[in-house]
């Protein structure tokens, strides 16, 4: 009969089994995911709140109606703000007081430089109010005040009843915005006595009865065709009536 094997004090009959490989792999994945998540959170916090990436300077481009000085002044609150916290919405909020600004494209040029590309409204006419001259946009909005030396090649609208009635005035500027560039430059001044009666006076002296703001594209094509047609020098045309573009009249 064999003798019982001697046992050391504190020994146990329980054997240590090797760890399940699948469980060991799962633990490694969990640890790795935790490390990655921690790094991502740290990176987000750095980009969002760290002064390391705070805006130190702002560059501006695309502006002609609004001076860079005014834009820089409006965007002054962005200095010291991390780049990641500044988007188009914030920039447009600060530029809301500048009627010439339609939109802005925001991007970072370097670690601490924010570049703002200004998108401006396109002026369609010059509004005369006494000695004051203002550029106006397609919706009748005043975009900028002109200086004495500024001479844009745009139609003139004299301060009148049309300018005092927002609906009539915006309709008039809307008509001008529909004209092709070449045709717009040929208009000397424009007027409207009501929403149904717009008149254009060309630089050649010819009067154009435009009518209302319906069918602007068709009216523009008809007018271009009439202006390009051969002329009888002995009997010059003084008036083009395109208020009914399918039945234009020249007299």
Choose the final residue of a domain: 104, 120, 136. Answer: 120
- The reply to whether 156 and 83 lie within a common domain is no
Same structural domain for residues 73 and 136? no
**For position 75, what pLDDT does the model report?**
97
pLDDT of residue 205: 94
- Domain membership flag for residue 36: no
Q: What is the pLDDT of residue 3?
A: 46
Averaged pLDDT in 10-residue chunks for the chain of 251 residues: 49 56 65 62 52 84 95 96 90 95 92 93 93 93 91 88 81 94 94 90 96 94 94 89 96 90
Same domain for 129 and 111: no
Strand locations in the chain (E):
57-61, 101-110, 113-120, 125-129, 132-136, 142-145, 156-158, 187-194, 197-202, 207-211, 239-241, 249-250
Query: Is the separation of the CB atoms in 176 and 211 below 8 Å?
Result: no
pLDDT of residue 21: 66
The confidence score (pLDDT) of residue 203 equals 95
Residue 92: which domain range?
A: 54-120
In the prediction, which pLDDT does 1 show?
44
Q: Which of 120, 139, 155 lies at the terminal end of a domain, its last residue? A: 120
For residue 44, the model assigns a pLDDT of 53
Supply the pLDDT for residue 223.
96
Number of domain units in the chain: 2
Q: Provide the CATH number for the domain around residue 165.
A: 3.40.50
Q: What pTM was estimated for this model as a whole?
A: 0.73
């Amino acid at each position: 009969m064999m003798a019982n094997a001697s046992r050391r004090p504190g020994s146990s009959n329980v054997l240590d089994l090797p760890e399940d490989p699948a469980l060991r792999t799962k633990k490694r994945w969990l640890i790795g995911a935790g490390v990655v998540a921690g790094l991502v959170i740290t990176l987000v916090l750095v980009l969002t709140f760290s002064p390391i990436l705070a805006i130190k300077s702002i560059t501006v481009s695309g502006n002609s109606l609004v001076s860079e000085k005014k834009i820089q002044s409006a965007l002054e609150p962005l200095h010291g703000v991390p780049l990641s916290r500044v988007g188009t919405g914030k920039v447009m909020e600060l530029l809301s007081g500048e009627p010439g600004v339609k939109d802005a494209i925001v991007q970072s040029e370097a670690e601490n430089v924010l570049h703002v590309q200004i998108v401006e409204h396109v002026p369609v006419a010059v509004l005369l109010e006494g000695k004051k001259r203002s550029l106006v946009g397609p919706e009748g909005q005043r975009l900028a005040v002109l200086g004495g030396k500024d001479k844009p090649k745009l139609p003139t609208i004299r301060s009148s009843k049309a300018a005092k009635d927002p609906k009539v005035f915006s309709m008039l500027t809307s008509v001008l915005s529909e004209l092709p560039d070449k045709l717009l430059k040929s208009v000397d001044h424009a007027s409207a006595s009501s929403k149904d009666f717009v008149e254009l006076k060309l630089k050649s002296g010819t009067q154009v009865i435009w009518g209302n703001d319906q069918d602007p594209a068709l009216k523009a094509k008809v007018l271009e065709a009439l202006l390009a047609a051969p002329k009888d020098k002995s009997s010059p045309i003084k008036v083009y009536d395109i208020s009914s573009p399918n039945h234009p009249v020249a007299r």
